[in-house]
């Protein structure tokens, strides 16, 4: 009680201050997180997005009502949109909230905009579908489940004759959608009054072979009479008719889509400002198994845009009719794929059509392609769909030296569909062992990889060992339907001398082999310690790990197994302490992200494990 009373006194004192946070205080916009008439400001005046911890935040949540009106809540990421009382300054409120237990972050409610540029004249041909070989993909495509694409945008004109049959609906006919601009207390309005969301929806999944208008990339096959119903659209309204929204509306839309059955989230929008709320929402959706596709932006620079820059998102650049990166497209190593985005013909409200340009147009082309793959092979994970899209690409031409990520290219849905099993019989591709050196008596993991996903009844691989007395394997392994790899255990025995064992995998006259060295145990020698230097590094840099034994290693050395708790820091599978030495070092490589991560590195030898922690900064 004393804490609450003191907090109230502090808040009353704060009312007297008129500090600003990056700008002068502005008038309050109408609606929950809706931009005001003027969108010149980078964020909505007098609004904050506040993220709270899952526990221990009772006082913090109560305090939100003291400093303003709660205009929206995002339960999945435990964040709130607060309209601050006009007599309080944003900075003083920020200082007040930061002192409370349970507050994770406070940020302005940044504005988010659609990434598109309307263009005339009207183009009567859809060159993009030809470029990405959509018709060839449709010939192989046979849907086995319904896939839902959430168009997280300005709504969809669900009465458009090219879209009406592609909208997800409840059994009683009501549209299955969400309106983040008006999230509380009434039925949402999913209609698109500006056109941006409708244009993106048509690119992804306009009805095909209906003698009307245009064709979306997802999807149609004449041998499947109901194929048009296999991929459906969910309108998730986060932008107004001017194509403007906020980080809070976008985070709400992403979270709702992830919680309500959307498989693919198409995000033709963004901002140059980092937002923890959007970062949390993107990570939440990915963890729930969604695939997120985001426009890279139209600023003609390599500056990151959000949400595209977040690692769970496929960041999409735009190319033109000649497969050249467009002059307006974002570029840089962080961009994952390119797709046609200039002069793209698609649907607009009121039964109309037009060609628009932007990475906004490239984004739903990739999202629709993902739906083609996933409806064909529903056993794939979101990561597997992403890998197929990003690796099975065609070359593109950089624009004046501007390029996207190394090894990346322009979308080819036909090749990507083949990569996930359409029209191709899998073959045994590779066999790997981890680790490749082990002290006898310790386990090893073997992994077989196929050239394409396994068929409906799986794919069986025969296994054998050249020295069963040192290392044994199962007689066979079945790769599950839809998967391209599977693992099996290798059991090793104690040996008196170093023994090299060949593990062989065979299927359909194809053999793959890998070597395993089984080492004798060293009686009396144990793993003493593991150290890391430095213990804190920026992402993308390296650290050094050192293992120490209790006594010098014998002839042949001692192999110590290594593992990391996170992909933010990667280690080799093992390190060998040379004969006569007591120590050996190894390199830890890290990668950058938008958060700080504490990674545990573990070393193991003779059933003894030692661990140390490494902090990886942004």
Do residues 150 and 370 touch, judged by C-beta distance below 8 A? no
**Higher pLDDT residue, 455 or 155?**
155
Give, in order, the Cα–Cα distances in Å from 369 to each of 121, 212, 293, 471. 27, 21, 11, 44
Closest of 263, 265, 419, 398 to residue 338, by C-alpha: 398
Question: Do the beta carbons of residue 519 and residue 577 sit within 8 Å?
Answer: no
State the CB neighbour count (10 A cutoff) for residue 573.
16
pLDDT at 227: 77
**Which range scores top for mean pLDDT: 27-31, 87-91, 398-402?**
398-402
Report whether 388 contacts 414 (CB < 8 A). no
- Does the annotation count 153 as an active-site position? yes
CATH architecture assigned to 527-616: Sandwich (2.60)
Picking from 404, 417, 412, the residue whose alpha carbon sits closest to that of residue 129 is 412
Marked catalytic residue, from 57, 76, 355, 360: 360
pLDDT in tens, 373-387: 999 999 899 999 999
Tell me the per-residue pLDDT of 72-110, one tens digit each, with 9 for 90 and over: 888 999 999 999 998 888 888 888 888 888 899 998 888
Q: What number is the average pLDDT over the span 170-194? A: 84
By percentage, how much of the chain surpasses pLDDT 70?
89
Q: What are phi and psi of 118, to 5 degrees?
A: -60, 150
Specify whether 268 is catalytic.
Answer: no
Question: Would you give the end-to-end CA distance of the chain in angstroms?
Answer: 39
**428-519 architecture in CATH?**
Sandwich (2.60)
Catalytic residue among 57, 76, 153, 160: 153
Measure the CA–CA gap between 552 and 531, rounded to whole angstroms: 18
Active site residue 196: yes
Q: Which of these is catalytic: 92, 157, 162, 196? A: 196
Are domains 117-419 and 527-616 of this chain identical in fold? no
- pLDDT top residue among 483 and 269: 269
Beta strands in 282-418 (DSSP E): 291-295, 313-319, 337-340, 344-348, 352-357, 393-394, 410-411
Over pLDDT 90: what percentage of the chain? 58
Out of 3.40.50.200, 3.30.930.10, 3.20.20.140, 2.120.10.30, select the CATH number for domain 117-419. 3.40.50.200
Least confident interval from 111-115, 232-236, 301-305: 111-115
Query: Is the pLDDT assigned to residue 36 strictly greater than 50?
Result: no
CATH class of the domain at 2-110: alpha beta
Global pTM reads: 0.63
Q: Tell me the domain boundaries of the chain.
A: 2-110, 117-419, 428-519, 527-616
Residues 6+ apart with CB under 8 A from 185: none
């Amino acid at each position: 009680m004393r804490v609450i009373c003191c907090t109230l006194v502090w808040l009353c004192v704060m009312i007297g201050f008129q500090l600003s946070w990056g700008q002068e205080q502005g008038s309050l916009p109408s609606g929950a997180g809706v931009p005001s008439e003027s969108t010149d400001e980078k964020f909505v005046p007098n609004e904050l997005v506040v993220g709270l911890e899952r526990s221990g935040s009772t006082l913090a949540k109560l305090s939100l009502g003291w400093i303003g009106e709660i205009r929206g809540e995002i339960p999945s990421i435990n964040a709130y949109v607060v309209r601050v009382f006009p007599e309080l300054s944003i900075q003083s409120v920020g200082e007040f909230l930061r002192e409370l237990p349970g507050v994770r972050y406070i940020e302005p409610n940044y504005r988010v905009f659609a990434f598109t540029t309307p263009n005339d004249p009207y183009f009567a041909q859809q060159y993009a579908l030809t470029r990405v070989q959509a018709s060839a993909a449709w010939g192989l495509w046979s849907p086995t489940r319904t896939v839902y694409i959430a168009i997280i945008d300005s709504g969809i004109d669900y009465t458009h004759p090219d879209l009406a049959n592609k909208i997800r609906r409840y059994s009683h006919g009501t549209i299955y959608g969400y309106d983040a601009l008006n999230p509380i207390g009434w039925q949402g309005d999913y209609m698109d009054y500006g056109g941006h969301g409708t244009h993106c929806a048509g690119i992804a999944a306009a009805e095909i072979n209906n003698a009307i208008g245009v064709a979306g990339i997802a999807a149609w096959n004449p041998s499947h009479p109901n194929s048009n119903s296999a991929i459906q659209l969910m309108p998730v309204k986060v932008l107004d008719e001017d194509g403007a929204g906020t980080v809070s509306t976008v985070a709400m839309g992403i979270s709702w889509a992830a919680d309500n059955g959307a498989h693919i989230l198409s995000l033709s929008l963004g901002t140059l400002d980092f937002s923890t709320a959007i970062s949390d929402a993107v990570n939440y959706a990915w963890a729930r198994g969604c695939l997120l596709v985001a426009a890279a932006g139209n600023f003609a620079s390599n500056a990151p845009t959000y949400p595209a820059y977040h690692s769970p998102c496929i960041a999409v650049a735009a190319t033109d009719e000649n497969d050249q990166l467009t002059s307006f497209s974002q570029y840089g190593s962080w961009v994952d794929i390119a797709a046609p985005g200039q002069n793209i013909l698609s649907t607009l409200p009121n039964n109309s059509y037009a060609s628009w340009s932007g990475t906004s147009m490239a984004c739903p082309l990739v999202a629709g392609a993902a739906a083609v793959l996933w409806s064909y092979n529903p056993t794939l994970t979101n990561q597997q769909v992403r890998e197929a899209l990003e690796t099975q690409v065609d070359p593109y031409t950089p624009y004046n030296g501007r390029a996207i990520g190394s090894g990346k290219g322009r979308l080819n849905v036909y090749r990507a569909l083949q990569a996930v099993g359409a029209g191709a019989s899998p073959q045994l591709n590779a066999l790997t062992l981890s680790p490749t050196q082990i002290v006898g008596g310790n386990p090893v993991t073997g992994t077989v990889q196929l050239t394409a996903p396994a068929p409906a009844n799986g794919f069986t691989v025969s296994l054998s060992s050249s020295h069963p007395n040192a290392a044994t394997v199962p007689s066979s392994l079945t790769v599950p339907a839809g998967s391209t790899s599977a693992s099996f255990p290798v059991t090793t025995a104690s040996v008196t001398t170093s023994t090299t064992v060949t593990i062989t995998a065979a299927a359909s006259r194809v053999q793959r082999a890998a070597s395993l060295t089984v080492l004798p145990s060293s009686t009396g020698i144990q793993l003493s310690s593991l150290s890391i230097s430095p213990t804190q590094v920026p992402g993308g840099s390296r650290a050094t790990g050192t293992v120490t034994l209790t006594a010098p290693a014998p002839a042949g050395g001692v192999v110590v197994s290594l593992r990391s708790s996170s992909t933010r820091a990667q280690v080799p599978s093992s390190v060998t302490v040379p004969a006569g030495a007591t120590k050996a070092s190894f390199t830890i490589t890290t990668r950058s992200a938008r958060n700080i991560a504490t990674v545990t590195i573990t070393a193991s030898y003779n059933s003894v494990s030692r661990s140390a922690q490494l902090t990886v900064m942004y």
